[in-house]
Amino acid sequence: MHLIIRRQQIKNMMLPLAMIGGAVFYKWMGYLTFLSPYLIFIMLLITYCKLDFRDFKPKRFHLVLLTVQMFLSATVYFLLLPLSHKVAEGVFICVFIPTATAAPVITSMLGGSISFVATYSLLCNALVAVIGPFVLAEIGDAGEISFLQSAALIGSKVFPLLILPLIVAMALRYIFPKVHSVIKDHQQISFYMWAVSLFIIVGSCVSFTINHWIPSEVWSIVALIAGALVVCLLQFVIGRRIGSRNGDAVSGGQSLGQKNTVLAVWMAMAYMNPIASVAPAAYIAWQNIVNSFQLVAHSKKTR
C-alpha cells in the first residue's frame, strides 16, 4: 500500500519537475527537439489502440466548438487591434490554430473521449488548412506564400502525424491482435512519454523566447505572453463549460484549449510580424501548466 502511494506521489511530481527541468536546461534543447514528433507519434499510437473506431464520427458538439473557436479568434483580434497590430496577431493565432495532435493522449489520461477529440482534431486541422491561408494573408504582414503552397505546408505539418498512428493502430488491431492487445493494456506508458515531451517542449519554449527577446519590444512581448495566458485559460474554461452541457467537460476543454503550438509558431513566422510568434511560444508553457494541474487533480480524484 505504501509502495503504491509512494509511486503515485512520484508520478504527481513528474510533470512539474519536467517543466522546471526544461526551463533550467533550455540551452540543450536544440539537441532534443527532433524527438518531439516521434514521441507524439508513439503516444498517439498507444492511445489510438484504445480507440473504438466506430465512434470516430462528427457530431453536433464538434460543430458547436468549431463555431465558438472561429468566433472567439475573430473577437480577440478585433478587440486587440486598436492597441497593437502585432499583439492582436499573436493572440489571435493562439485561438485560431487547430487542436494539438497530442490532445487525444491527454484526454485519455483525464478520462475523456479519445474518439471525440481525435475527430475534432481532424476536423479543426482540415478547416484551418482550407481557410487559414485566406485569413492569414488578409491580416498578416507577409503575403508572398500562395494559397496552394500554404495549404500544402499546413497539411504536411499536421496530417501525417494525425493519420499515420491511426492507420498503424488499425493495422495492428486486425493483423497483429496480440501486439495490439499488449499496447492497449499499457496505456500508462503515454504518461511517462508525455513527461519527456514536456521537458523538451518547455525547454524549447524558453529557448525560443530568449532568442527572440528584443529590448525595444519589451512591452509587446510582455503583452503577447500575458495575452496567451488569458486566451489559454479562457479556451479551457469555455470548452469545459460547453462540454459539460454535452456530458463531456474534459473533451470539450481539451478540444478547445490544447493547441498545435508548433504549427502556430510557424504560421506566425510565415505570415506575421516575427514578434507575434512569442504568443504561441508562451502558449506552449501555459497549456502544459494547465494540463499538468489537471492531471495531478485527476490523479488525486481517482486515487
- Whether 266 contacts 260, CB under 8 Å: no
238 is in which domain, residue-wise? Answer: 16-302
Closest CA to 39 of 97, 99, 101: 101
User: Residue 92 corresponds to which cell in the numbers above?
Assistant: 489571435
- 91 domain residue, yes or no: yes
Q: Which amino acid is at 175?
A: I
Instruction: Give dist(CA 241, CA 230) in Å, integer.
Output: 16
Q: Which residue has the higher pLDDT, 250 or 10?
A: 250
- 9 domain residue, yes or no: no
The predicted-structure confidence for 77-114, as pLDDT tens digits, reads as follows 999 999 888 899 999 999 998 888 778 878 888 888 88
The predicted-structure confidence for 129-164, as pLDDT tens digits, reads as follows 778 777 877 776 555 556 666 667 666 666 676 678
Q: If you average pLDDT over every residue of the chain, what do you get?
A: 80
Specify the pLDDT at position 191.
73
- 7 domain residue, yes or no: no
Specify the pLDDT at position 135.
80
Q: Is residue 73 over pLDDT 80?
A: yes
Specify the pLDDT at position 3.
47
| Tally of domains within the chain | 1
- 4 domain residue, yes or no: no
Specify the pLDDT at position 154.
64
DSSP 272: S
- 8 domain residue, yes or no: no
Q: Which residue has the higher pLDDT, 20 or 2?
A: 20
Q: Which whole-number Å values give the CA distances from 282 to 39, 54, 225, 237, in the listed order?
A: 21, 37, 6, 18
- 3 domain residue, yes or no: no
- Whether 258 contacts 69, CB under 8 Å: no
Binned at pLDDT 50, 70 and 90, residue 57 comes out as confident
- 5 domain residue, yes or no: no
Closest CA to 193 of 57, 27, 47, 6: 47
The predicted-structure confidence for 15-33, as pLDDT tens digits, reads as follows 778 878 887 887 887 777 7
Residue 147 contacts by C-beta under 8 Å, 6 or more apart in sequence? 133, 134, 137
- Across the chain, the runs of DSSP E, i.e. the strands, are none
The predicted-structure confidence for 279-300, as pLDDT tens digits, reads as follows 888 898 888 888 888 887 877 7
Q: Which amino acid is at 122?
A: L
Query: CATH number of the domain that 96 lies in?
Result: 1.20.1530.20
The predicted-structure confidence for 212-271, as pLDDT tens digits, reads as follows 677 777 888 899 999 999 999 999 999 999 999 888 899 999 999 998 777 777 777 767
User: Residue 46 corresponds to which cell in the numbers above?
Assistant: 498507444
Residue 282 contacts by C-beta under 8 Å, 6 or more apart in sequence? 205, 209, 224, 225, 228, 229
- 2 domain residue, yes or no: no
Distance spanning both ends of the chain, measured CA to CA: 12
The predicted-structure confidence for 170-206, as pLDDT tens digits, reads as follows 888 888 888 888 888 877 777 787 778 778 877 777 7
Residue 237 contacts by C-beta under 8 Å, 6 or more apart in sequence? 253
Closest CA to 17 of 203, 151, 148: 203
